[in-house]
Chains A and B, each alone.
Chain A
Amino acid sequence: MSKIKEAFHNKKAFIPFITCGDPDIETTKKLVKEMVKNGADLVELGIPFSDPTAEGPTIQGANLRALNGGINKDKIFNMVRELRTEDGISIPLVFMTYANVVFSYGAERFFKTCQEIGIDGVILPDLPFEEKGEFEDISESYGIDLISLVAPTSAGRIAMIAKEAKGFIYIVSSLGVTGTRSAITTDVASIVRVVKENTDVPCAIGFGISTPEQAVKMAEASDGVIVGSAIVKIVEKYGRDSVKPVGEFVHNMKSAIS
């Protein structure tokens, strides 16, 4: 069974996202530990890409800061390995990056490394259902879940995607790119209903969630919430001193949905 399911056992999952290497890999590591301490059920670790086409300005900025700081995949892999072996982090961890980052490293080598260091899943926003064959066999052979996304525009496609989903389903709450929004107008409940009719894989909602009120609403409609830009903004503001405020933010969000 997918280890990712553990994040959803008998509770609404809180899933924070951070960009690895922003502002540096040491801070990223501290952030992961602090977020876990404050109730994160699964952590999404962004591997920076030069041209993140699914991201809004906040996470684009984080990618740029991390790349300018000299981040690379080997440093990120080492950090994850240490989190697992030295820091005793046992919750599911997934990578979020772009297809070219995996492809250029060599898919075989990438997923093999994921297995070795203790990554449970990979989210690639530019790899839709039609193209998942690019990596699916290889990721499965190493026991890594390739996470499927469902969008507000997925009408007629949700059942097809849900039936083959692994790990969890990432429900994109709104049109457009990542970033905080004052209101989420999509009828997510009806998307979740179709998902649930077709799979028992849990689903979490992301894109645009920044307040405990939004989180509560989205958690009620699904199995969990994903928050990225709101956390990255705190990291952007406080840099190396962001560990404590990020921990507090995660604590508040997790408490709100518990």
Chain B
Amino acid sequence: MDNKNGRFGIHGGQYIPETLMNAVIELEEAYNHYKDDEIFQNELTELLNNYANRPSGLYFAEKLTRELEGAKIYLKREDLNHTGAHKINNVLGQALLAKKMGKTRLIAETGAGQHGVATATAAALLDMECVVFMGEEDTKRQALNVYRMKLLGAEVIPVTSGTATLKDAVSEAMREWTSRIDDTHYCLGSVMGPHPFPIIVRDFQAVISKEIKEQILKVEGRLPDAVIACVGGGSNAIGSFYNFIDDKDVRLIGCEAAGRGIDTFETAATINTGKLGIFHGMKSYFCQDDEGQIAPVYSISAGLDYPGVGPEHAYLHDIGRAEYVPVTDDEAVEAFEFLSRTEGIIPAIESSHAVAYAMKLAPQLEKDKIIVITISGRGDKDVAAIARYRGENIYE
């Protein structure tokens, strides 16, 4: 599906300053070498299994299934990974790759802070320097993760430009990379940006769907009817979808953050409300105005609060292979609370968007149907923000 110029249909490409071209070419060459290198893959598998706690469980949510009176629901427990989210899968891969390339310093952007924490963790483990760019707005929403990164030895730089959220953190990380390339790898956190990042990040996250497939075949003896995941840039979603793309009977459903609704300006549902454009190194769909200015998007979830979407998702949407549905703040918060009560699992507010859509879909399906929801991360980081959403003045 992807060709060597990094295109997914019309999407993707390398729309970046000339200053970075040799860096991404070097990265692509290194990745193409190491992805087939047995020693590299063994080292990575060792880290994933013994450090990050893979494989993550596929848990049959019996109570949730009973409550919703429809399809059987399984939860892919990426929240149980070390550092509490799927982000570690990609970070361990990229950090190891960077180390092999002779880089000594990792820079990263982060929204909710999960990717920043994962990068800071890998940097600590592999003896690398780490600098994380985070929108100032997000450093307030996710103060605990900021301290966590500092505890791990990373420097956190609050970004005040633009809307001071995830898109500005990406812009600032790109600016930093253009000024310091020799010793620095930009550890991009999602399936976005210039080629080869969308492919590298997808490959490192594809372990999610590889495991789901093995696990569901073992317990159910067949493939699921639907796989549901939340989509910001789209890394946990592409990881959950990838090994099912050729299995046409498996519905792939990405849940976008609709914020206060897709009929308002306070939304981050890119595929549902955006237009084709060129930004952050890629051609894809972006929330933007008629002048091509990138829109100041909004979602309760800092991790989904991004005006673009990865090029492979844009392509899966174009060809109708995956469906992308909007989920509002209200729906996500209700799902956050519902899963906590029914299963004793507090999902990240990002993952709660996927849970919310499953709560709509499951009751419409027969009881012999199977749904897998990827719980991309744990919700501890969101507890104080949800309390405030419900009018309780709790601060971390």
Contacts and interface: CB of A to CB of B under 8 A. Distances in A.
Nearest to A161: B18
A63 B291 CA distance: 14
A149 B181 contact: no
A150 B18 CA distance: 6
Contacts of B276: 103
Contacts of B16: 126, 128
A177 interface: yes
Contacts of A149: 17-18
Interface string A146-168: 00011111111100010000000
A230 B237 CA distance: 45
B182 to A, nearest CB: 9
Contact of A131 (B15, B23, B175, B179): B15
A21 to B, nearest CB: 12
A60 interface: yes
Interface residues of B, number: 37
B22 A126 contact: no
B277 interface: yes
A128 B194 CA distance: 11
Contacts of A125: 17-18
Contact of A49 (B179, B181, B293): B293
Nearest to B5: A130
Given A154-B22, A175-B181, A128 B17 contact: yes
Interface string B281-298: 100001010111110000
Contacts of A130: 5, 13-14, 21
Interface in B138-197: 161-162, 167-168, 171, 174-175, 178-181
Nearest to B293: A50
B279 interface: yes
Contact of A100 (B20, B162, B292): B292
Interface of A: 49-51, 53-54, 56-57, 60, 67, 72-73, 98-105, 125-131, 134, 149-157, 161, 172, 175-177
Given A153-B18, A177-B178, 17 more contacts: A51-B168, A51-B294, A101-B292, A104-B277, A104-B288, A104-B290, A125-B17, A126-B278, A128-B21, A129-B18, A130-B21, A150-B18, A151-B18, A153-B19, A156-B22, A157-B21, A176-B180
